[in-house]
Structure 1
């Protein structure tokens, strides 16, 4: 019989990190972070916590009272809402209005930060796709999409076109971004991809097999990179169909892998 791989040892001294999401079955943070913690000899474990939107505040407030819980990772659909539950916000949160991590400070306060954008750009450049000078189209102006939009602009994209079905959210994000990067952001009522060098899905469409495509592939020019932030399934319908048309594709897991060093520094995991 095959011996299963050793997982983290949980003791009475173990520190906890929670991953909050709805759904939560697709989260990859425990899979990536727990081996790192074990390798570093850190007595801590990352666990998924399924939280419905209506219960987010009560769950976060409860977890903030758990004395051996040092931090939280936050995924869809809670990234925007959770920022208001922190006592302090880091620079990225102030710009994009969403958070994907919360950390307990020495004084007991909770600090929110967002590494989605920097992680996405790190993963993108690590895979050989340079955002500088590119014309990018991003669909989805939620928590992750907002962070990615800001990071792409900071990385030097020449033009960023945004689309979201929530027009109020889309308009608010465009205004925040334009305050920092004037003249480089535009919005569209429907995603148009002609002329794009990079097309990014930052919506949840693709988590389920029967989801529609987040944007049509017919208008994609040759050579366009198609990126998805969904991590499970690894090959979303969008990426499969884009690859079948000859486009270069970029998987969602690269965004999380690009955040690992930031997580380690943020939570002082060494």
Structure 2
């Protein structure tokens, strides 16, 4: 199985919480002082901008729909503070646009991830086909939205919920991962690498009757292949390395540096 983009990358799509800033758990960031960047996030965005890529944020912010904060507090408080933190790390670390869905999960909304609405909206605004985009996220819903939009290159970071997703995939809910923090044999620690499965493997897992762990495995397999990396900085390094190739593909992984 492969996912390749035979055209140059035209747009970089980034989730916010867990990718750019550390995820603080439910109900999300409701105070600018909660914001803390993931490792070298500003440098990552600055490098992408210097390379000429438009960088767009695609984010669910149900804390507005839940009336925990107002849209004004989001757009005039939290987002400016995040931009300030990024610029303090790298003077070029600016995003081009933020697409934000503020509805709650119980409200039908085609813009809310895992639906592809915001991604397709971004592609229309920037006149870029989804096949010319890269999406970086930390959740299954990020990968599902990108898959449904037709994004060929999806990157899952281990920050936020990413490592937990991979851990669940390999160890399930009833097994414990290796205790060693840097166990080279632990797949959760191995980045960057491609996560993929054959059609036969997916069909075998679909036939198993062992929910809910197997359901989560099947759901993750449905969005494969994708690249699993340590953080946004490692993702940006991989993206930049593709500039020297004729196509963007996640079938082979070149080395990245911290």
Q: Which has the larger radius of gyration?
A: 1
- TM category (shorter chain) comes to 0.3 to 0.5
Q: Which has the higher contact order (CA 8 A, sep 6+)?
A: 2
Question: What TM-score, normalized by structure 2, do the two folds share?
Answer: 0.33
Higher normalized strand content (fraction of residues): 1
Question: What TM-score, normalized by structure 1, do the two folds share?
Answer: 0.32
